[in-house]
Structure 1
Amino acid sequence: MIKKLKSDIITSIKNKKINVFFLFLLFAFIILIFTKLSKEYTNTVTFNINKINVPQENIILNDSNAILNITLKTHGFKWLTYYFNKPKIAIDFVKDVNKIDSTFVWSKSKAYLLASTQFGKQVELLNISPDTLVFRFDVNLVKKVPVILNADIKYTQGFDIAEPYDITPDSIEVIGPNVLVSQINRIETEFIEITDVKSDIKKVIQLNLPKNSKDLKFSNKTVNLTATVEKFTEGKLKVPVSIKNIPNNTTLKYFPKFVNVTYYTSLNNFKTIGAKDFKVECDFSKITSNQSFLLPELVKFPATVKHVKINQQHIEFIIVE
């Protein structure tokens, strides 16, 4: 028991000596770092460009991602900030550049402004490369284009939509260089597939915006799709057949004089639809020689019906002399 206690005391003393040693070592290391960081060093750093005050009517094209290699002399603490944060230089497109043709040009002659406004007194600016920066630009164009639904929507039997799909907004604004915006005439939604629909549709859909178009801006990235889903039923009516473009002094007899027209409509609209809302017509001028029948065409039907079909393909006729 006594031997174990003696051993523990000796171990504790040794551990404290080790802890004190490492503590002094840490202090020495910190002092060394501070000494190093307090000294001045000369080095060249790559600075990205932060473009400010670009005129609203212009847009800088992506191929103008210019950089500046700047040689600086400053203390180590400042270099430490450049190491942890990617350095940027602000170029003011009102004060610092000249507009030449379709470019903005920054020259090294403006460099003296950088030392006083962006680096401070503790930093000495020694050199800048390249001597000039050229930023290509284009005129901003705002164009409104329609949104096109890209979807496959299937309904449960006996259900459908009475009105067309409502897309909000139905068009969006595309903003960017004229050369790019002029090529865009429509924007489709991302493809969606819905099956067995029997209730109202309410969905937010992403737009399928052009890829790799950082120079373009869009007023919306999503649209709202809504539709009222109702119960549907099939209807059937006898509709009279009329003939047009019969030559003068020609009398026709034709059969049948009525045809069956089938259609699909909502239960709410079913009772409001009658034969007077449809018109079936044959055009005599479209017949060819030796043709003994006319082709019926549906030239009028209500907007509230779908899948309208004439159940008679031919109308037989004879010319009475």
Structure 2
Amino acid sequence: MRKKPRFKRSSVKTFSFFLIFSAVVWVLVQFSKTYTQLIEIPVNYVNAPLDKSISEDRPDHVDLQLQDNGFSIYYYKIFNPQLNVDLSQAKETGNALVYTLQNHLSEIEQQLKIDFEKSLIVQDEIVVPFQYKKEKTIKVEPRIEVNYAVGYSAEEAVQIKPDSVKVSGPKTIIDSIEKVYTKNISLDKVNDDLDGTVAIDTTGLGALSFYENSVAYYQKVEKFTEGSAEIAIEVINVPKNLNLAYFPKNVIVYYQVNLQQFESVSAADFRVVCDYNEVQRGDDYMIAQIVEKPDFINNVRLNERRIQFVIKR
């Protein structure tokens, strides 16, 4: 019986080595050759004029005719570098911004890392259509939450400056917006005057150009103390033929006041009223409300709002 010929393991390894080596050499030789290739370079537009809305129907690439070895060509295909076009350097012609590529070859060479002795950009210029933006002044509202330290407060709400900003953009978007907001910020344990800046929230408003991106905020924070006063309840709109008895007759009003104005507050400055007309059928109580108080106090509250009553026969 004849034995089957067997290949030595060392022969297989040698054959595989030379096969792989030959393939690598072939690839290197092929990539070392000079090729001419047309490559699309994506375009990114920067520094668009604030008074112009750039059309969506604008060129998204330029064509680069590259004459170089295979390594360089595949670098552009794999890493896909993009060209930043500075529209502040474009010339306005009719309703278009014209960016002449030949005037910016050195900048393009630096950005794309190419040599124009071996390559060229097919287009002479990039034409970007535009529409003039509509301008509008829009109110800014703060979203600033202030939590004061114990014993501190403020008489007025947080103020911002400017309280409105100029924006420009497509007419359809501009006409639909009446106000914008600041970013949300929360300030804790505040015991001193507020003075800072906060960014305007432009989320979802990318089509608009803001002439101001932030506003200043401020608030005078003062030392406050709590005061109280006992006030007699006044019941109004009770029918003349109705004998009404209610309890309690008096309530305590609690309030916060600037320490410097504490002595200026007296019980005579308050009026607490129950309106009998607001009593619902079947109820045996009225709701007390503060209808008069000094303007310079805050955090006003009652110790009791439900006032029980009975009708005497």
Counterpart mapping for 1:18-167 below 5 A? 59-62=53-56, 64-65=58-59, 92-95=91-94, 135=129, 137=131, 139-151=133-145, 153-167=146-160
**Aligned equivalent of 2:283:** 291
Question: What is the rounded CA distance, in whole Å, between the counterparts of 1:212 and 1:289 in structure 2?
Answer: 52
Q: Check whether the contact 1:61–1:138 (CA below 8 A) recurs between aligned residues.
A: no
Counterpart amino acid of residue 274 in structure 2: C
Q: Check whether the contact 2:143–2:182 (CA below 8 A) recurs between aligned residues.
A: yes
Q: Check whether the contact 1:235–1:270 (CA below 8 A) recurs between aligned residues.
A: yes
Question: What is the rounded CA distance, in whole Å, between the counterparts of 1:190 and 1:87 in structure 2?
Answer: 30
By how many angstroms is 1:257 displaced?
A: 2.9
Q: Secondary structure at the match of 1:187?
A: strand
Residue in structure 2 matching 1:309, options 296, 301, 306: 301
TM-score normalised by length of structure 1: 0.60
**Structure 1 residues 275, 63: CA separation in 2 closer, same or farther (over 3 Å shift)?**
farther
Q: Check whether the contact 1:293–1:316 (CA below 8 A) recurs between aligned residues.
A: yes
**Structure 1 residues 192, 177: CA separation in 2 closer, same or farther (over 3 Å shift)?**
same
**Aligned equivalent of 2:174:** 181
Counterpart amino acid of residue 60 in structure 1: I
Provide Cα deviations, 1:61-80, integer angstroms capped at 9, x if missing partner: 35535566599xxxxxxxxx
Question: What is the rounded CA distance, in whole Å, between the counterparts of 2:197 and 2:97 in structure 1?
Answer: 44
Counterpart amino acid of residue 281 in structure 1: V
Q: Check whether the contact 2:225–2:256 (CA below 8 A) recurs between aligned residues.
A: yes
Does residue 220 in structure 1 map to residue 209 in structure 2? no
Counterpart amino acid of residue 287 in structure 1: V
Residue in structure 1 matching 2:273, options 270, 278, 281: 281
Q: CA RMSD in A?
A: 4.4
By how many angstroms is 1:171 displaced?
A: 2.3
Residue in structure 1 matching 2:161, options 160, 164, 168: 168
Does residue 265 in structure 1 map to residue 221 in structure 2? no
By how many angstroms is 1:55 displaced?
A: 11
Q: Check whether the contact 1:47–1:67 (CA below 8 A) recurs between aligned residues.
A: yes
By how many angstroms is 1:54 displaced?
A: 8.2
Provide Cα deviations, 1:175-222, integer angstroms capped at 9, x if missing partner: 211223344443332333333322222112222223671x42213222
Q: Check whether the contact 2:247–2:309 (CA below 8 A) recurs between aligned residues.
A: yes
Report % sequence identity.
23
**Structure 1 residues 266, 212: CA separation in 2 closer, same or farther (over 3 Å shift)?**
closer
**Aligned equivalent of 2:247:** 255
By how many angstroms is 1:236 displaced?
A: 0.7
Q: Return 5+ residue gaps in structure 1 as ranges.
A: 1-42, 72-85, 98-103, 107-113, 120-124
Q: Secondary structure at the match of 1:271?
A: helix
Residue in structure 1 matching 2:228, options 216, 222, 236: 236
**Structure 1 residues 162, 45: CA separation in 2 closer, same or farther (over 3 Å shift)?**
closer
Provide Cα deviations, 1:93-113, integer angstroms capped at 9, x if missing partner: 445x5xxxxxx699xxxxxxx
Q: Return 5+ residue gaps in structure 2 as ranges.
A: 1-37, 66-82, 106-119
Q: Secondary structure at the match of 1:59?
A: strand
TM-score normalised by length of structure 2: 0.61
Paired residues in the alignment total 248
By how many angstroms is 1:303 displaced?
A: 2.8
